[in-house]
Amino acid sequence: MDALTNLAYGFSVAFQFHNLLFCFIGALIGTLVGVLPGLGPSATIALLLPVTFKMSPVTGIIMLAGIYYGAMYGGSTTAILVNIPGEAASVITCLDGHQMAREGRAGPALGIAAIGSFIAGTLALIGLMVFAPILGQAALSFGPSEFFSIAFLGLTLVVYLSRGSAVKAMVMAVFGLLIGTIGTDPRSGETRFTFGIFSLMDGVGIVPVAMGLFGIAEVLENIEIGLSSEREIYKQKLKGLLPNLEDWKRSFGSIMRGSLIGFFIGILPGPSGIIGSFASYAAEKKLSRYPERFGAGVIEGVAGPESANNAASTSSFIPLLALGIPGNVIMALIMGALMIHGIQPGPLFISGNPELFWGVVASMYIGNVMLIVLNLPMIGLWVKVLKIPYTILFPLIVLFCLIGVYTVNNSVADIYIMLFFGILSFLMRKTGFEAAPFLLALILGPIMENSFRQSLTISHGSLGIFFWRPISAALVILGIASILSQGIPAFRKRKEVLNDKIGKGN
């Protein structure tokens, strides 16, 4: 009953005109980002962080969340029509979705992707309502040692689930922790690693770093690939967007299984949308009476993965809001937005910010309905959007980056920081280093440092505090085990197989 009362309160917040407007704007931008190959939700959220500073926290997070789950919807459009995933989580949709389009069944493929995403998003929201408050209540018993341990575990699991080399991911995580120490020591007040640069006394800002890592680097990478490269746009007339009865019979179980798989994988740290869609596809192929037809245009190969990646995008909010641990880079960016507004996600978040939590949850219900309207009747418009040349798109992105990062603090130094990390991220991508572990470490680093020092103060300098308390000990052991597992051939081989599949899809 409390959940229904809280949800009703959330809808009263979400139905306020400005929140409703920015929910629609977020869903619209997210769909557009998903449709356009080469511009993902990470880059877009990083670019739009400065825009949220003038909004209330509720409105800002509603918009950013809309971009995230909207991109999961939109990514299927290019995967089906162009055979290019607009978003990485839609890689597996290319296999059967594009084959259905080639057979003249693009309509049902797009329809089941949108409807499956809506059903999965709705079911995942119910799970979010149930699990997040329970987890938040359980975490109220956490002390500094538990907070350090869970941040440590989150960081090590993200390193384990990174797409590239685990060693390189660990290097980037350590680099992020080091960059996070720049600025003024929170206990002694002394400056650290600023090299006499006044603008670094407050530390390296999340916004310029995120814009550089994902916005500028994305532009540089696409310029290198070639701005004039042509994409084969689906030219047949779309018809029959609503799946027929046979399609529904074959897809219903896939949607339910994909929703369940995606929801639980989304709670884990890492690229949950990608892993969830691959896991769902593997499950559907395993359970199918005709596995040999997968890859040749079966509707289950679209329904399951698309449901899974949308369920995962919703459930990934659970560890962020209940424990204060971002499970992937997009959650890290949303956490950064909350922290800039002076809000710390964690065990006290739901009880201390009911308007924000329940308002965002209710807005996701509304956003899912909006996305059905945006994705089914407006397919023709998204096909036209695919024809926008990159020579027009990317200069606008760079201009938006420059304006956005400058307006945060009216500081030219932030522009230099953004450009530095943009070029650095581009070089990192060329050499196989990922930006995600770096950004997560940059955000988690101050939390880990403060919790670590508080723990040592309580224990009078003894590291044993991390092992005396059962929850802390279990989390530290799991984190160490995830690092050590990198050397076990079976784990390494399984990760390499997943990375190969993702790479082939891209």
* pLDDT one digit per residue (tens) for the chain, 506 residues: 476 788 888 889 989 999 999 999 998 888 887 777 656 677 778 778 888 878 888 999 999 888 888 887 777 777 777 666 656 667 678 778 878 887 877 778 888 888 888 888 888 888 888 887 777 666 666 778 877 887 787 777 666 556 567 778 888 888 888 888 888 877 777 888 887 777 777 778 777 887 788 778 877 877 776 654 455 555 555 555 677 788 888 888 899 998 998 888 787 665 566 667 877 888 888 888 888 788 778 888 888 888 888 888 888 888 888 777 777 778 888 888 888 888 878 777 877 888 888 898 889 888 888 887 777 677 667 667 666 676 776 787 788 778 767 766 777 888 888 889 889 988 888 888 877 788 778 877 887 888 888 888 888 888 888 888 887 888 888 888 877 766 655 455 555 555 554 444 44
Provide the 10 A C-beta neighbour count for residue 260.
19
Amino acid at 206: I
Rg value, the chain, Cα = 22
Q: With the C-alpha atoms ordered 498, 481, 331, 406, is the resulting torsion angle positive or negative?
A: negative
Rounded Cα distance between 11 and 505, Å, is 39
The interaxial angle of helices 41-52 and 329-340, nearest 10 deg, is: 0
Q: With the C-alpha atoms ordered 400, 405, 407, 410, is the resulting torsion angle positive or negative?
A: negative
Q: What pLDDT is recorded for position 191?
A: 81
Contact 174, 441 (CB under 8 A): yes
What domain count does the chain have?
1
Q: What range defines the domain where residue 47 resides?
A: 2-505
Residue 156 tokens, joined: 């090590």
Q: What pLDDT is recorded for position 294?
A: 81
**Angular region, 184: left φ>0, alpha ψ -120 to 50, beta rest:** beta
